[in-house]
Amino acid sequence: MDEQLFVYFIRHGMTRGNLLKQYTGWSNPPLLPEEHHRLKHAAAPVVDEVWCSDLKRATETAEILFPDASLKQSWMLREMHFGDFEGKDYQELKHQARYQYWLDNMKERGPANGETLVDVHYRIQHGWERIKHTKNKRVAVVTHSGWIREWCNEYVPDHSLTYLWQIPYGAGILAIFQKNGGEWECRSLQEAPLMEKKSGY
């Protein structure tokens, strides 16, 4: 049988900023208290290795879902840095010309003191380069919805997952890889919803 690698890309749990629909980016809020309870009752996938963004909302999610794992944290797995837009929501920004300009030119232009999409893809490439050399076959990556979406756009550009624009908190996608010429090639992308633990577990 061909050698395979299973990677679960998981979105962190919800924060107050997420609840208020604010750009959170590199800001570092904790999970909402009720998220701890919800995630503790979730059935996490069985994996051999866990990577996570070094931001609190990701590390807390990883610690809850994978309490026995030794986490590998990396700033390269962070969400996009929204610079001066962080902590603000669409309603606050929609009439600002600089905000509209950024929405139209996100790839090459970043918010003041923030990142462009090119910057984000640079981090994704370097982060993924470290992860994919694992000797394990089942890996979890607890990160951010923007990171997951742009990873898919970088490595599986012909994907058709509209789900990527509305990944539930604590859920994600499962990517299945096979070796092709010595390199891991993604052969399948599928939704990985957050499931409740069965009674008694």
Known binding-site positions for substrate: 11-18, 24-25, 57
Q: Render the burial of 106-118: b for 16+ CB within 10 Å, e for the rest.
A: beeebbeebbbbe
User: What are 162's two structure tokens?
Assistant: 């509209």
Q: Which of 12, 49, 115, 144 is catalytic?
A: 12
81 is catalytic: no
Kindly name the residue from 35, 60, 79, 150 that is annotated as catalytic.
79
Neighbours of 36 (CB within 10 A): 16
The two structure tokens encoding residue 48: 């051999």
Residue ranges for the binding site? 11-18, 24-25, 57
C-alpha angle with apex 173: 170 to 176, nearest 5 degrees?
Answer: 140
- Let me know if 12 is a catalytic residue: yes
Token pair recorded at residue 26: 């590199």
Strands 138-143 and 172-180, sheet pairing = unpaired
Residues labelled as active-site residues: 12, 79
